[in-house]
Amino acid sequence: MDSEREKMLNGELYDASDPDLVAARQRARERTATFNTTEPGETDRRERLIRELFGAVEGTVHVEPPFRCDYGEQIRVGDGFYANFDCVVLDVCPVEFGENCLLGPGVHVYTATHPLDPEERASGLESGRPVSIGDHVWIGGQAVINPGVTVGDGAVIGSGAVVTDDVSPNVVVQGNPAEVVREIE
């Protein structure tokens, strides 16, 4: 029988009150609390703490505090990753960022979701769907990336956009729900 963690990572309904998952979230909250109280000049310490929090970091990474996540260990970032102030990544499933991804302030990336049926939702079970962000993607401030979304290489997500569907490579999307407004040459 699959553990609650395995169900979570497989996108199945799982019980978030499972002690293993509660402990993992607590570890992430302790690590982000430490990260979020670093001093502005502590760039080496910040990078070390992010490398301890995230599941994988390739090359250089820069995250401005405050930053919040559920677990951290499902987050993978490519070289040149940058997240501005107040970003949130709810990583109950994998979240992958390619190389040279830029997140504006207040970007939220969600993998967590809940059943649509009210009785099932009231049971406390939840699930998730992975998010994948390609290389050279720029996500403007206050944008939201919803569960299960894939963003193609070179795409730009306009500030305040709510991305509910996959985004093709080399396009600009904006609005709620986000729609393509132009192609990038």
Backbone angles phi, psi at 50, to 5 degrees: -65, -40
Positive or negative, the CA dihedral 14, 19, 23, 24 is negative
Q: How many whole angstroms separate alpha carbon 43 and alpha carbon 64?
A: 10
Q: Which of 62, 108, 114, 136 is catalytic?
A: 114
Backbone angles phi, psi at 154, to 5 degrees: 75, 5
Q: Does 114 participate in catalysis according to the annotation? A: yes
Residue 103, beta-bridge partner list = 83, 139
Helix (H) or strand (E) holding 5: helix 4-9
Positive or negative, the CA dihedral 91, 135, 142, 27 is positive
161: closest CA among 132, 133, 181, 183?
A: 181
Residue spans of alpha helices (H) in 10-145: 19-36, 43-53, 118-122
| Active site (catalytic) residues | 114
